[in-house]
Amino acid sequence: METRKIKFSLVYRDMWQSSGKYLPRVDQLVKVAPHIVEMGCFARVETNGGGFEQINLLFGENPNNAVRKWTQPFNDAGIQTHMLDRSLNGLRMSPVPADVRQMMYKVKKSQGTDITRPFCGLNDPRNILDSIKYAKDAGMIAQAALSLTYSKVHTVEYYVNLADTLIKGGADEICLKDMAGIGRPVWLGKIVSGIKKLHPEIPLQYHSHSGPGFALASILEVCRAGVEYVDVAMEPLSWGTGHVDLLAVHAMLKDAGFDVPEINMDAYMKVRSLTQSFIDDFLGYYINPKNRFMNSLLIGPGLPGGMMGSLMADLESNLASINKWKTKNNQPTLSQDDLLVKLFNEVEHIWPIVGYPPLVTPYSQYVKNLALMNVMQLEKGKQRWSMIADNIWDMLMGKGGKLPGELGPELKALAKEQGKEEFTENPQSLYPNALDTFRKEMDEKGWEYGQDEEELFELAMHPEQYRAYKSGEAKKAFEEDLAKRREEGAGLLEGTKKAEAPAAVPANFAPSSMIVDVDGEKFKVSVAYGENGAVQTAEAPVQASTPAPAAPVVNGAVKEVVAPLEGKFYLTKESSETPIKVGDDIKVGDLIGYVEAMKTFNAIKSDIAGKVVEVAFATGAEVEEDDVLVKIQ
């Protein structure tokens, strides 16, 4: 029987983020923290990092205040606090300038965070080693993470060698980050044994999601192999797309003979009750009930359970688009399950072709989005790879780090055709220092830098969200969305409003006119009836409403550039790009703008040449698939 001590870490932040969109407000966090301490079984608590602080901004709350107040009770109790960071991407989905990354660790240390867990979505040591150095310079414990996934290139030796490189580069600890929960138990045990053989003094921590069903067996194997810390969740947000439950892990390890801390069950029930009250308050409206279930279908594609909520939302909107096309083309429609299976199969198909990136933020989203785009195009009779977003190309070309595997020949050929070249230098060199630019903005707007310049940091890390927070737009948008959800019902909470049944149509109803859609044009048709109610005559159609003036035709017909998918339209993505306008000459392949969908920017390029005679949408407008964006003559 094993008698070694195992310590627990509560991933209270990640419990929420893996279940839904939002996390508790600071007043709720402060309310629950003393009872987490009182439970007496946690050596560590995950308090911030990842998307946590961006989410604060999204519902109009200052993340710096939230982090300081949330970490304080654990600091006072001697419980270590830890955060997740995305190395090159810091606390967001896109790369961060070096000076902002360096500042992050100084700010988070001053706010009460003891340990940072840097990971790279591609397992590129260069990105993680920079974070290790920055963290240690700021006085933090650097717990470097291995992003675990299961493929022919992600072998036991691959991960043992990666851990060896990171430890020799200064890592104080190693986290085995099993973000999709697809690590096979015995395989994981071999990785832990291999690391411990090389570095027996280095503490190891295991983090897993429960979704596919391996997690409990995996925890037992890694503990037997030498892991000292295990991440756990607790009711009512354990299991499903989240993490294993504290009580189950505790009972299993105790039976196996490990020395595990006792749990104050009175305090446990208080934390459970408070967590449920937060769900009942508003957070349940943002939790998809399907996220409470485990799903072994995730083993095949290897997608993280934590992204299932956004995945199902993407499926819902894209299913409507596909079925609209299929109905128009007299083809049988798909169910959501049909599309889900097609998506999972496509992920399995393309993953080796895109170089086996570990399916963790942001690359899990990129691979899923690319697979979904492929499915949509194939279902509409088009070609695979016909839509690849800019940030996905950045991943494929090495701008975020080196891919673990080789690109498939079809993508290499497509990259060559589009003039894209592989980037082999350190990715950080592409993103120069930027703090001075943000200092200038704060000075011009009269904003305070904050304690330890933490407000400057937030602007630099999350520019768009911070500006929306400062203007009040973020809070207003959140409150409007929450009010709507409360009215209609959503997530784990059912609203009281019932959908009104449509008014009954009288049996003898005979309209005097109707609107008819012919190839996208609407016509108002007057209808006359004979004595028996049959249609007798109809006037010549007239347009139902006065259309916008047609673009002038001088040297040819006006042609249209349409949106290939629904989302938010931008005439340009970056200020360095000049927006097109009426009168501009356009060549085939010229950039029209971008549609932002599923967290990726999809470039829209013209397939026709001529002069712009109309721009139909302003930057930031919501567009649907096939909406006319630009007319070109």
pLDDT band at 51 (very low <50, low <70, confident <90, very high): confident
Task: Tell me the average pLDDT across 109-114.
Answer: 98
Higher pLDDT, 362 or 266: 266
pLDDT band at 538 (very low <50, low <70, confident <90, very high): very low
**Residues 307-319 pLDDT 10s:** 665 676 677 778 8
Task: Tell me the average pLDDT across 157-170.
Answer: 98
CA triplet 125, 220, 43: central angle to 5 degrees?
70
The listed CATH number (2.40.50.100, 3.40.190.10, 3.60.20.10, 2.40.128.110) that belongs to domain 559-632: 2.40.50.100
Higher pLDDT, 162 or 559: 162
Highest mean pLDDT among 150-154, 162-166, 326-330: 162-166
Task: Tell me the average pLDDT across 441-465.
Answer: 96
Is the pLDDT confidence value at 102 over 60? yes
Helices (H), 329-362: 336-350
Model confidence, pTM: 0.80
Is the pLDDT confidence value at 265 over 90? yes
What is the structure's pLDDT at 84? 95
What is the structure's pLDDT at 612? 84
What is the structure's pLDDT at 123? 96
What is the structure's pLDDT at 528? 46
What is the structure's pLDDT at 598? 61
Distances (CA, A) of 167 to 136, 172, 504: 13, 7, 72
Higher pLDDT, 533 or 143: 143
Tokens at 228, concatenated: 């000292």
Task: Tell me the average pLDDT across 295-315.
Answer: 73
pLDDT band at 526 (very low <50, low <70, confident <90, very high): very low
**What is the Cα Rg of the chain in Å?**
27
The SS3 call for residue 417 is helix
Do 271 and 32 touch, CB atoms closer than 8 A?
yes
What is the structure's pLDDT at 337? 86
Higher pLDDT, 360 or 188: 188
**Residues 418-436 pLDDT 10s:** 999 999 999 999 999 999 9
Is the pLDDT confidence value at 266 over 70? yes
> Cα(225)–Cα(188) distance, rounded to whole angstroms?
9
The structural domains of the chain, with segments of one domain joined by +, span 7-288, 305-429, 559-632
Tell me the average pLDDT of the chain: 86
Task: Tell me the average pLDDT across 605-612.
Answer: 80
Tokens at 379, concatenated: 């279902």
Is the pLDDT confidence value at 302 over 70? yes
What is the structure's pLDDT at 518? 42
pLDDT band at 82 (very low <50, low <70, confident <90, very high): very high
Is the pLDDT confidence value at 491 over 50? yes
What is the structure's pLDDT at 300? 77
What is the structure's pLDDT at 2? 59
What is the structure's pLDDT at 202? 98
What is the structure's pLDDT at 410? 94
Is the pLDDT confidence value at 534 over 60? no
**Residues 558-595 pLDDT 10s:** 778 877 767 777 776 554 467 777 888 888 777 777 77
Q: For domain 7-288, give the CATH number.
A: 3.20.20.70
Tokens at 269, concatenated: 């029930």
- Give 549: exposed, middle or buried? Use CB within 10 Å, 0-12, 13-18, 19+: exposed
Q: Which of 161-170, 228-237, 327-336, 602-611 is least confident?
A: 602-611
Task: Tell me the average pLDDT across 184-189.
Answer: 98
Is the pLDDT confidence value at 512 over 60? no
Task: Tell me the average pLDDT across 115-124.
Answer: 96
Task: Tell me the average pLDDT across 402-428.
Answer: 93
What is the structure's pLDDT at 588? 79
Which residues neighbour 241 within 8 Å (Cβ) at sequence distance 6 or greater? 18, 19, 209, 210, 211, 291, 292, 305, 306, 308, 309
Q: Which of 105-119, 299-313, 337-351, 552-566 is least confident?
A: 552-566
* CA atoms 149, 151, 155, 156: torsion sign: positive
283 C-beta neighbours (distance < 10 Å), count: 24
What is the structure's pLDDT at 573? 53
What is the structure's pLDDT at 289? 83
